[in-house]
């Protein structure tokens, strides 16, 4: 056990010593045991502003309007099932759930949209992901559709906040709670985690997460530490033109004339498939139960801008087709523990 004293004992000592509810410094960690199952009530609110032009047929049949302003709200129960991780001191968290009672309002191409006819770009898919974390809540591995370089991106533009390569902070299917420090902390202490995750380009995705213990509160009869975190994620940018050039080149017949080869090379020079996610922010507050070693409640407000600039040959005619899209996504997510072991 990393914690030297129970949270209640630390509070009692502090109250006796100085008469103020400010706990002594203590080691924080998550208490996860194989076979445990936690349920979180999740609330989601999204606001999407989008403009697009060109041929959206290249997006595997997605219905993409030229202009849209949409608000989405939904609730879900996420189940976090705990099992042993691949290494000692790690745990796999299998997260499943589905948003129900989803409401959609706004306009697409000047026409009103409602919950009975959700646009493809705003569709919300069932959640089924796994993450591996250590006792400090550091993400060791995140499950994703790694076999498909476009996984979670073009199967629905609404999945750009999740999927295999999300803008961190925008994916509601996450381990609840911030990374915790290795050293002991108390109210007023701040620590920073730098997280690197692989992207589709050579450069990793870098996220900086400074966190501060701001106070001690009582939540549903339990003393908790309030931890504020302000995550920022670097620009995510990758161009899949080289990937598609190699794919089209492999499909070309061997017996091509010099004219056909020149035509193909000219087409490849025009090829573009650029996807960018601007610097993203995610501000969160977590109510952490140090005695039980878990987050009892959390709120996250995240924002990002996603753009696409594509120019690829039509599958049937070979004629180059362009598509440009810009989407701003603001999202608020709340988590509240409703069942599970509590220490």
Give me the pLDDT at residue 47, please: 94
CA dist 214 → 23, 103, 175 (Å): 12, 35, 21
Give me the pLDDT at residue 162, please: 36
pLDDT (tens place) for every residue of the chain, 343 residues total: 333 444 444 434 343 334 455 678 999 999 999 999 999 999 999 999 999 988 766 665 566 788 999 999 999 999 999 999 999 999 999 999 998 888 899 999 999 987 777 666 677 788 899 999 999 999 887 764 333 333 333 333 333 333 333 455 567 888 999 999 999 999 999 999 998 877 666 777 888 999 999 999 999 999 999 999 999 988 888 777 777 666 666 666 677 777 777 777 777 777 788 888 888 899 999 999 999 999 999 999 999 999 988 887 766 666 777 889 999 999 999 999 999 887 4
Give me the pLDDT at residue 288, please: 98
Give me the pLDDT at residue 115, please: 73
Give me the pLDDT at residue 116, please: 74
Q: Let me know: does 316 contact 26? Beta carbons within 8 Å.
A: no
Phi, psi of 300 (to 5 degrees): -135, 130
C-alpha to C-alpha distance for 11 and 15, rounded to whole angstroms? 6
pTM: 0.79
Give me the pLDDT at residue 10, please: 41
Q: Which residues contact 282 (CB under 8 A, 6 or more apart)?
A: 168, 169, 170, 229, 230, 231, 232, 233, 300, 301, 302
């Amino acid at each position: 056990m990393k914690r030297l004293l129970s949270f209640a004992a630390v509070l009692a000592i502090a109250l006796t010593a100085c008469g103020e509810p400010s706990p002594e410094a203590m080691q924080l960690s998550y208490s996860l045991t194989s076979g445990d199952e936690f349920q979180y009530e999740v609330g989601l609110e999204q606001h999407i502003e989008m403009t697009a032009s060109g041929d959206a047929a290249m997006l595997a049949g997605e219905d993409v309007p030229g202009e849209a302003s949409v608000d989405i709200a939904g609730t879900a129960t996420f189940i976090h099932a705990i099992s042993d991780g691949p290494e000692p001191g790690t745990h796999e968290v299998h997260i499943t759930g589905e948003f129900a009672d989803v409401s959609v309002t706004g306009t697409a191409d000047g026409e009103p949209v409602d919950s009975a006819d959700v646009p493809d770009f705003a569709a919300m898919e069932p959640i089924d992901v796994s993450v591996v974390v250590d006792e400090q809540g550091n993400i060791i591995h995140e499950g994703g559709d790694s076999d498909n370089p476009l996984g979670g991106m073009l199967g629905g533009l609404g999945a750009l906040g999740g999927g295999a390569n999300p803008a961190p902070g925008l994916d509601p299917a996450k381990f609840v709670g911030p990374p915790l420090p290795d050293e002991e902390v108390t109210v007023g202490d701040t620590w920073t985690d730098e997280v690197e995750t692989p992207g589709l380009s050579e450069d990793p995705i870098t996220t900086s997460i400074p966190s501060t213990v701001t106070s001690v509160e009582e939540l549903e009869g339990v003393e908790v530490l309030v931890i504020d975190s302000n995550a920022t994620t670097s620009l995510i940018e990758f161009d899949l033109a080289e990937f598609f050039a190699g794919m089209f080149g492999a499909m070309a017949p061997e017996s091509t004339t010099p004219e056909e080869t020149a035509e193909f090379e000219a087409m490849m020079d025009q090829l573009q498939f650029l996807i960018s996610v601007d610097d993203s922010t995610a501000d969160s507050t977590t109510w952490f139960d140090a005695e039980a070693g878990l987050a009892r409640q959390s709120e996250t407000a995240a924002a990002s801008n996603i753009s696409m600039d594509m120019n690829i040959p039509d599958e049937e005619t070979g004629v180059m087709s362009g598509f440009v899209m810009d989407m701003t996504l603001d999202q608020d997510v709340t988590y509240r523990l409703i069942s599970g072991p509590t220490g």
